[in-house]
Amino acid sequence: MIRLPHGVQDDRVGRRRTVGPEDARSWLLVNGARTELFDVAHESRADQVVLDIEDAVDPARKPDARAGVVEWLSRPDRSAWVRINDHATPYWADDVSALAGLPGLLGVVLAKTEAAEHVTETFDRLGGATPVLALVESALGIEEAVRIAQARGAFRLAFGSGDYRRDTGTSADELAMSYPRSRLVVASRIGGLPGPIDGPTVNSSHPILREQTAVTVSLGLTGKLCLDMEQAPVINEVISPAPSDVAWARDFLADFEARGQVIRDGSDLPRLGRARKIERLAGIFGVQPA
């Protein structure tokens, strides 16, 4: 019997994700070889669940993990994203072949994306309708981020911060990591994609997670990978508009309507855009004004 983690109640069984992947804040990575965790993750507070058959799985166990993921996604009322092996590995072709057409497959997270062709070939082999979330994890991937974002089939970008640090020798320092994150933000904007997804916080401390997620938001990223179900509510709260922001947005929009939608000065248009964005996200995330 699987014990529900702290914060997940029995009455949550069978819940449906209400935040779509284009706006999803928390992306929960689940070891693809741990099939006993799939149902619990599906019932968690994460906006999206990613079954990981790449880094989380030993090479010798990849075929079994892939088969377990395929079996679970073939069940009624079961759905998730799957992190697949990168294009350069011998596992990539088997991954896309096994996943293509599965009813529960929401999309794939393509590990170590370094070229637009990696996205497009994955997208085509999956049938041309399954979204590909490009996980950028290297110096070359960051350099090619704009072309990756513009690739046919690209749905959203994500930052593989751990592998990026290993590839470049960069520290985890906030300032050192701001450049690759900002590159992904700019590339996403140029490619017409939703905001990118930041790498995970390994530390289990909620204050540290809250602080690092605030940095994510400040740099313009709109989601975050997480490694633990208990991290999801913290990430969701920090990335969502604050109740005070929602109150400001509604007051501004009400005043804008009351004056006949007249633009008074150059600062009105930026504020109008911000207010409309906050109002839209508040509706999606269920945030009420203070």
What span, in angstroms and rounded, lies between the C-alpha atoms of 170 and 164? 8
| Cβ neighbourhood burial of 237 (10 Å; 0-12, 13-18, 19+) | middle
**Is residue 5 in some structural domain?**
no
Full residue range of the structural domain in which residue 192 is found: 10-239
Contacts of 248-255 with C-beta under 8 Å, sequence gap 24+, read: 248/275, 248/278, 249/274, 249/275, 249/276, 249/278, 249/279, 249/282, 250/275, 250/279, 250/289, 253/279
Calpha distance 120→128 (Å, rounded): 9
Q: Are residues 147 and 265 in the same domain?
A: no
Total structural domains in the chain?
A: 2
Asked if residue 1 belongs to a domain, the reply is no
Contact 111, 132 (CB under 8 A): no
Short-list 180, 70, 96, 73, CA closest to 135: 180
Clarify whether residues 34 and 172 are in a common domain. Answer: yes
Q: Are residues 195 and 259 in the same domain?
A: no
**pLDDT recorded at residue 16:** 52
Which pLDDT belongs to residue 72?
Answer: 97
29 secondary structure, DSSP code: E
Residues 200 and 270 in one domain: no
Could you read off the pLDDT tens digit of each residue along the chain, which spans 290 residues?
222 233 333 333 344 568 999 999 999 999 999 999 999 999 999 999 999 999 999 999 999 999 999 999 999 999 999 999 999 999 999 999 999 999 999 999 999 999 999 999 999 999 999 999 999 999 999 999 999 999 999 999 999 999 999 999 999 999 999 999 999 999 999 999 999 999 999 988 999 999 999 999 999 999 999 999 999 999 999 999 999 999 999 999 998 888 888 888 878 899 999 999 999 999 999 999 98
Strand stretches in 66-196, DSSP E: 80-84, 105-110, 132-136, 154-159
**Sign of the dihedral through C-alpha 86, 209, 12, 158:** negative
- Backbone phi, psi, residue 12, to 5°: -90, -5
The reply to whether 194 and 257 lie within a common domain is: no
Q: Do 135 and 80 sit in the same domain of this protein?
A: yes
- 134 within some domain: yes
Do 247 and 235 fall into the same domain? no
With respect to residue 21, please indicate whether it lies within any of the assigned structural domains.
Answer: yes
Please answer whether residues 71 and 39 qualify as being in contact, where contact means their C-beta atoms are separated by less than 8 angstroms.
Answer: no
Look up the CATH number of the domain holding residue 18.
3.20.20.60
99 and 151 in a single domain? The answer is yes
Q: What are phi and psi of 178, to 5 degrees?
A: -70, -30
Closest CA to 282 of 251, 240, 244: 240
